[in-house]
Structure 1
């Protein structure tokens, strides 16, 4: 069950279904992850007693994972979305405000530390333009881009089962801030 949060995060962060190439396994944590947490802890002594957060990358391929990590570093990507149903299916708790994660690029190299600042559950059809802009990391037609990318991915997760996508499906909307590195 230790891998369950990693699998859920990977699944939730994905936007479209593409074949995955080689990426490090959870047990192969890149040394840069430890170094980034150590640097952050040195700068924030109040976190010395905290366990190192999980590290993971957005999406399911190198191009998108690396692009999204850069958007996080640049402060443009400040949200992530997943289906509420997935949490129930996995028997997992919803994300919690205050949870930190170390975002990596696809090869596992640490890029940033984020902290969840808000979690909402909203029907797909009610996602706002402002939220879509935070999730997509763009101001250019963020809502149509968000809906197209997320609908395609969500639909792909139902391909082998009896369920189908519905615009009434609940989406878990995580808003986060990048807390390291500080720009």
Structure 2
């Protein structure tokens, strides 16, 4: 699968919903194909509607914002779904709360599970990239709704119409 598959997936979403052409991010979950597929499975069941990343990973002015679109790839790089960001909170790792842990939908959905899993994940990232991870590092907590494909979309009736406000 390649770049043309990504463009075709985005074009199908736009054609079906009338969303104007705009920039969108292309991501996969986790740091391995296996983790990407595991987390994507949670999205497909409706359990996962949040994701966390480190603020340090974004260029100035590039932090996601409500209304942004993200095209998600599976572990093999195949387009799987598109989400629209609905909420962003930036806070120290240790201040991430139970409601966000539940929105991430991983493990038992508890804050304890979230912290343990994300300490491991961000710890691997810190080791690879040579930075120090601690409980005060700023985390971007992103909540999203699935808008494509229609059978996964969060609202009844398939794909969600674009917002008039564009925000």
TM-score normalised by structure 2 residue count: 0.77
Give the whole-Å Cα distance in 2 for the aligned partners of 1:69 and 1:170. 24
Match of 1:114 in 2: 83
Are residue 51 (structure 1) and residue 51 (structure 2) matched? no
Match among 32, 36, 39 for residue 12 of structure 2: 39
Following superposition, the deviation at residue 134 of structure 1 comes to: 1.3
Match among 27, 30, 46 for residue 75 of structure 1: 46
Deviations 1:43-62 (A, max 9, x none): 212x1x31363322111212
Match of 2:162 in 1: none
TM-score normalised by structure 1 residue count: 0.71
Q: Report the count of equivalent residues.
A: 151
Match of 2:146 in 1: 178
Give the whole-Å Cα distance in 2 for the aligned partners of 1:65 and 1:124. 22
Give the whole-Å Cα distance in 1 for the aligned partners of 2:130 and 2:43. 36
Gaps of 5+ in 1: 1-23
Superposition map of 1:1-183 within 5 A: 28-29=2-3, 31=5, 33-45=6-18, 47=19, 49-51=20-22, 53-87=24-58, 90-91=59-60, 93-138=62-107, 140-159=108-127, 163-183=131-151
Gaps of 5+ in 2: 152-167
Let me know the Cα RMSD of the aligned residues: 2.4
Give the whole-Å Cα distance in 2 for the aligned partners of 1:100 and 1:42. 15
